[in-house]
Amino acid sequence: NAGVTQTPKFQVLKTGQSMTLQCAQDMNHNSMYWYRQDPGMGLRLIYYSASEGTTDKGEVPNGYNVSRLNKREFSLRLESAAPSQTSVYFCASRLQDRVSHEQYFGPGTRLTVT
Amino acid sequence: TQLLEQSPQFLSIQEGENLTVYCNSSSVFSSLQWYRQEPGEGPVLLVTVVTGGEVKKLKRLTFQFGDARKDSSLHITAAQPGDTGLYLCAGVGGSSNTGKLIFGQGTTLQVKP
C-alpha cells in the first residue's frame, strides 16, 4: 500500500514552460486535493475533486488546471509557469466520510520557476 | 472567507519545557484537525476534535477545541527533540461532502537537546 504518490519530487522550470504534476492514490478514496505550501502561509487549496468526474476551484486556482483521470489519479497542470508558482505542491486524498475528514498527503513536489 | 490564525509562528525551546500553540478564528468550524509535518514530507494527521469543549490527549500532547468551536490549542508537556517539526491546524470548511480544509499558517517548533 503506497498511499499517495507524487511525481516528480523536484522540478525546475523556466518562465513560460508548461508541466504536469502527477498524483495517484491506492486507498480507493473518493476525494482528491491539490495544495501549495509557501513559507508562513500554511497550505492553500488550489483545486479539488470531491468525487470521480468532478473538479472545483479552491482558494488559489489561477494559473492552474486539473484533470481527474480516474478514481486513482488527479493531475495538476501549469500551462505557462511563472516565478510566483515556485512552491511545494502537495496532493492529498480523503475517503469522503462525514466523520473523519482526515486527508492523506503525498510527499510533495518542490517546484522552482526561474 | 474563513481564516485560521495560528500562533506563534516559530518556537525554539529546550528539551523538557512545556509549550502551547494556538489556533484562532472568527468563524465556526464543524471540526478542527491538527497535523504534524516533517521536512521533505507531507502533513500527517495527529487528531480531530469535533465537539465544543472537547479535550483529547495523545501521550504528551493535549488538544482542546473551544466551546464555541472557533479556536483550538495544542499543549505539549516536557517537549523532546523528536517533537521538532511543523504543526498545522486545519478547520473543516464548506460542506462536509467536499472535505475542504482551511489551514493555519503553521508553527515551526524546534526542541533543542
The answer to whether the Cβ–Cβ distance between B45 and A94 falls below 8 Å is: no
pLDDT digits (tens, 9 = 90+) for A33-81: 999 999 888 899 999 998 888 999 999 999 999 999 899 999 999 999 9
Closest chain B residue to A9 measured between Cα atoms? Answer: B40
At A102 the pLDDT is 87
Beta strand pairing status for B19-24 and B71-76?
antiparallel
Task: Please choose, from the candidates B113, B109, B112, the residue with its C-alpha nearest in 3D space to the C-alpha of residue B39.
Answer: B109
pLDDT at A1 > cutoff 60:
yes
Q: What span, in angstroms and rounded, lies between the C-alpha atoms of B23 and B106?
A: 9
Phi and psi of A111, rounded to 5°? Answer: -110, 130
pLDDT digits (tens, 9 = 90+) for B36-84: 999 899 999 999 998 999 999 999 999 999 999 999 999 999 999 999 9
The answer to whether the Cβ–Cβ distance between B43 and A90 falls below 8 Å is: yes
Return the residue matching grid coordinates 495560528.
B6
Beta strand pairing status for A74-78 and A64-68?
antiparallel
Interface of A with B (CB under 8 A): 4, 31, 33, 35, 40-45, 48, 50, 56, 58, 90, 92, 94, 96, 98-103, 105-108
